[in-house]
Amino acid sequence: MDMLKALVPVEMTLASNIALRYLCRKADQLGIAIQPIHVEEPDHKPHSSETGWIRRSWESGLRQAGLEEVRRILKSERLDCFVLPNPLVRVGAREDELLDELRIGGHDLFVEGEVANFNTGEFRKRLKSKLYRQMPCPALVVRNMIQSDRAALVLDEKTDVELLVNRFRRFFRDPAKADFDLCAYAMDDLQRATHPDELLAEGRRLLKGAGYAPARSFSLLGSPETAAKALHDYGMIVVHLDRKSNRKTPLTEVLGLASSPLLLCW
């Protein structure tokens, strides 16, 4: 079974620390190798407006300094998982450099940390960013080091269930080891285009056809605050989001309030 590759920004921040430690703990389960990347942003730094050999020499120095910082961070973390030996270091705007690497590098997953602040507006801002709207692979946003290995596969009326199941199978490749629940979320079950029970039935059918079985299936009705609290013990929440829509939805509000790591599929 081929190893998947996750692109992970490495920075001297708590968020980066959380993401690295969480992914390393999950690496064997998901069959993932970590590709570290560090972006040095040149704005407002001396020589950032120079051209020619001065600029090239300055950028080379930035890359070398960035590489040394990444190596120090990785050494201090003492990660017990497979980290690719050559960290990537880029100079430029963070979003643009990460997006370029995701497009050309053949990565299966983008992983970054986020200090949990339960600000749904900030979460929607992240989803609307150029990076998240254009990245070619799923994203894992890590907020906490939750110890549980059980995932929650969460559906709502806008979920492309078949796409989500296919993405789930890509990361949880051994049905015998996939520990997860199937959940259909709605604020209520009245006047829904697709009733939560129908979503669960479709999800179970597609999963069963691929050899997967959730530990339990359930409808989750209520406010985003109630739903986020009900999901707070899961080690990962897996969802599908429609990036063509900018509208706030009950599910995106739940995700903004959730404390668990979020696997965002599109």
Taking residues 15-42, what's their average pLDDT?
93
Please report how many Cα atoms fall inside a 13 Å half-sphere around the Cα of residue 211, on the Cβ side: 8
260 and 146 Cβ atoms separated by less than 8 Å: yes
Tell me how far apart the alpha carbons of residues 118 and 246 are, in angstroms, rounded to a whole number. Answer: 20
Radius of gyration of the CA atoms of the chain, in A: 20
Mean pLDDT computed over every residue of the chain: 91
Does some domain include residue 122? no
Same domain, 79 and 160: no
Q: In terms of domains, do 168 and 257 share one?
A: yes
- State whether 105 and 166 are in the same domain: no
- pLDDT tens digit sequence for 133-179: 999 999 999 998 888 999 999 999 999 999 999 999 999 999 999 99
The residue to which tokens 């429609």 are assigned: 242
**At residue 59, does pLDDT exceed 90?**
no
Q: Using one digit for the tens of pLDDT, what is the confidence trace for 137-146?
A: 999 999 988 8
Say if CB 241 and CB 266 are below 8 A apart: yes
Within-domain flag for 20: yes
Q: Does residue 171 form part of some domain? A: yes
Contact (CB, 8 A) for 74 and 87: yes
Q: For residue 107, is it within any domain?
A: yes
Task: Specify whether 260 is located in the same domain as 174.
Answer: yes
Distance in angstroms (rounded) separating the CA atoms of residues 224 and 187: 7
Alpha carbon 233 to its chain centroid, in Å, reads 18
Dihedral angle computed from the Cα positions of residues 24, 160, 180 and 167, in that order, rounded to the nearest 10 degrees: -40
Q: Which residues partner with 265 through β-bridges?
A: 240
Residue 89, domain member (yes or no): yes
Residue 154 vs residues 13, 79, 88, 262: alpha-carbon distances, Å = 30, 30, 34, 11
pLDDT of residue 47 exceeding 70: no
Q: Quick check: is 134 in a domain?
A: no
8 and 80 part of one domain: yes
Token look-up 């998901």 returns: 30
Confidence of residue 245 (pLDDT cuts 50, 70, 90): confident
What order do you get walking across the sheet with 139-142 strand by strand?
88-91, 32-40, 4-9, 109-113, 139-142, 262-265, 236-240, 151-155, 180-186, 217-221
Percent of the chain with pLDDT over 70: 92
- Are both 178 and 255 inside the same structural domain? yes
Are residues 156 and 251 both part of a single domain?
yes
User: Is residue 105 located within the same domain as residue 178?
Assistant: no
Do 35 and 91 sit in the same domain of this protein? yes
* 167 against 190, higher pLDDT: 167
Q: Residue 221: is its pLDDT beyond 70?
A: yes
135 in a structural domain: no
pTM over 0.75: yes
- Read off the tokens for 10: 């490495």
- pLDDT of 64 reads 79
In a domain, 131, yes or no: no
How far apart are alpha carbons 158 and 77 in whole angstroms? Answer: 40
Name residue, tokens 């079985």: 213
| H or E element that contains 164 | helix 161-171
Task: Please give the tally of structural domains in the chain.
Answer: 2
Instruction: Quote the longest CA-to-CA distance of the chain.
Output: 66
105 and 31 share one domain: yes
Q: What CATH number corresponds to the domain at position 72?
A: 3.40.50.620
Express each pLDDT in 83-97 by its tens digit. 999 999 999 999 999
Could you tell me if 208 and 202 are in contact, meaning their C-beta atoms sit under 8 angstroms apart? no
> Considering 113, 140, 173, which residue would you say is the last residue of a domain?
113
Amino acid 58: pLDDT: 66
Looking at the fold, whether 181 and 109 belong to one and the same domain comes out as no
Spell out the residues 6+ positions from residue 165 whose beta carbon is closer than 8 angstroms to its own: 153, 203, 206, 207, 210, 212
Instruction: Give the structural domain span for 40.
Output: 4-113
| Residue 232, pLDDT score | 94
pLDDT in tens, 61-80: 778 777 888 888 888 888 88
